[in-house]
Amino acid sequence: MTGSALPRLLRPRALRPGDLVVIASLSGPLHAAYEPDLKQAVVVLERMGFRVRRAPLLEAGRHHWWSAARPAEIAEEFNGLLRDPEVRAIIAHDGGQTALGYLDLIDVEAITADPKPILGYSDISLLHLVLYARTGLVGFHADLATPGLGGHWQAAPAARQAVLEQLYSRLLTDDEPIGALPATPSWECWRAGRTEGRLIGGVINRIVLTQATRFALPLEWFDGAVLFWEEMGGQASYVWSYLQVLRHSGILDRISGMVVGIPHAIDGLGTPDSSPTLPEIVLDVLGDRDIPVLGNVEIGHAGPNLPLPVGIRVALDSQQEQRSLSLLEPAVCRSR
């Protein structure tokens, strides 16, 4: 896409009962130990009313280095799914470290011709951000198949599973706005306020990496946006550094609000007398930027995930008494 005006959103066609959802290796490999989790993910998707197929590269034990296959092979399979009219949605089996290797090989014309929901988080954040930048596609920052639907969902209480299943089903099949996402007591007010804006985000290190490529989102697209991010692994100081990059790039001066996911396996967070908490890191970098910040939300590696559609307009209320995040627009359209 050219120019810096906000993109016209490219919403996928709403799924219907019996539509085909394909689980694909868009990044990391499938380890044999997680085959039962993958099978459970299929059960969840079938219970939602979809047919499910595994893409050929999703084979236990298949790998190239840290990836399911060479980047060009993953791109070839991904493009085949994008071009196949029978395939109505693609969900990544897992995250990993591969999407950077094939960002330039994706058939964006196939996406504009027949946009489909692409679901995932972690490394898949790169795909959501880059495809939004290049086509306006609404990306579904949502649970991965194997560690998510087949893992975190199964460990959650039955009532939460039911809520998530209904939420994901509605998001994929209903062309009416979802409204308020189901809040939990973990949500925290880190800076009080209210705002509305388009959702942009993902894993914070992937946001930074995306902006370092030629597929970066124009800076103007962050004007008034609600930035959401999460992180797993590494050091607390890395998070502070990534936020500083967003400050130096001008992104923090343009956004109108922030949603922060539950941190996962980050070393050096909140160690007594020696390390800051995540809210302290965020507020330190934000400085006097008076924008609402809602923290400790279930988006990302801590799972199970609330789905956040990239590009969709949301209402954020981080005040202590409210703490709500509402999807004001549908993520899919009825016909195309």
Domain boundaries for CATH 3.40.50.10740 within the chain: 20-173
- Pick from 126, 119, 167, 121: which is nearest to 300 by CA? 121
Catalytic sites, residue numbers: 122, 230, 301
Give Cα separations from 40 to 37, 50, 57, 160, 254 (angstroms).
5, 14, 19, 16, 42
CATH architecture of 20-173: 3-Layer(aba) Sandwich (3.40)
pLDDT of residue 2: 43
Q: Which residues of the chain have pLDDT under 70?
A: 1-4, 336
In which residue are the tokens 């964006």 written? Answer: 108
Query: 331, 179 in Cβ contact below 8 A?
Result: no
CA gap 291, 289 in Å, rounded: 6
Q: The whole model's pTM is what?
A: 0.96
CA angle 323, 230, 118 (to 5 degrees): 100
Query: 305, 259 in Cβ contact below 8 A?
Result: no
pLDDT of residue 335: 73
Domain 179-327 has CATH 1.10.3720.10: no
pLDDT of residue 106: 98
pLDDT of residue 336: 58
List CB contacts of 172: < 8 A, sequence separation 6 or more: 14, 15, 48, 89, 117, 331, 332
Q: What is the 3-state secondary structure (H, E, C) of the chain?
A: CCCCCCCCCECCECCCCCCEEEEECCCCCCCHHHHHHHHHHHHHHHHCCCEEEECCCCCCCCCECCECCCHHHHHHHHHHHHHCCCEEEEEECCCCCCHHHCHHHCCHHHHHHCCCCEEECCCHHHHHHHHHHHHCECEEECCCHHHHHHHHHHHCCHHHHHHHHHHHHHHHHCCCCCEECCCCCCCEEEECCEEEEEEEEEEHHHHHHHHCCCCCCCHHHHCCCEEEEECECCEHHHHHHHHHHHHHCCHHHHCCEEEEECCECCECCCCCCCCCCHHHHHHHHHCCCCCCEEEEECCCCCCCCCCEEECCEEEEECCCCCCEEEECCCCCECCC
Domain boundaries for CATH 3.50.30.60 within the chain: 179-327
